[in-house]
Amino acid sequence: DARVTQTPRHKVTEMGQEVTMRCQPILGHNTVFWYRQTMMQGLELLAYFRNRAPLDDSGMPKDRFSAEMPDATLATLKIQPSEPRDSAVYFCASGSDSTDTQYFGPGTRLTVL
């Protein structure tokens, strides 16, 4: 049963520290999406990639957030420096042109103190 995996599942850090979240998309999927979920804002799209190329990162604060896909099996989302308002659950999802659905990972729950 293929699944999207995310690490770490939980992260507690202090303000100003760098945070790196990782996502392994389902093998064979060519699109990857990063979402952030908070009680106030709900699910927000931060960035998405197709065939490893960034297509849209307009939802991401550019000064502190960066998203990359070093290879087809790994997507990363970095926050540097982190702030308390970044506390949220970050979800990665992958999909493909043939399935036309997105499959979500379990999320990384980030707490910035």
Partner 1 sequence: DAKTTQPPSMDCAEGRAANLPCNHSTISGNEYVYWYRQIHSQGPQYIIHGLKNNETNEMASLIITEDRKSSTLILPHATLRDTAVYYCIVRPGAHTGNQFYFGTGTSLTVIP
Q: Which residues bind partner 1 (CB under 8 A)?
A: 4, 30-31, 33, 35, 42-43, 45, 48, 50, 55-56, 91, 93, 95, 97-98, 100-107
Say how many CA atoms lie within 13 Å of 48 toward its Cβ. 14
Burial class of residue 47, CB neighbours in 10 A (0-12, 13-18, 19+): buried
CA distance 106 to 103: 10
- Closest to partner 1 by CB, 59 vs 81, is 59
Min dist. Cβ of residue 76 to partner 1 (A): 18
CA distance 52 to 24: 12
- Closest to partner 1 by CB, 14 vs 106, is 106
Note whether 113 and 46 are within 8 A (CB).
no
- Closest to partner 1 by CB, 14 vs 60, is 60
3-state secondary structure of 97: coil
- Closest to partner 1 by CB, 82 vs 95, is 95
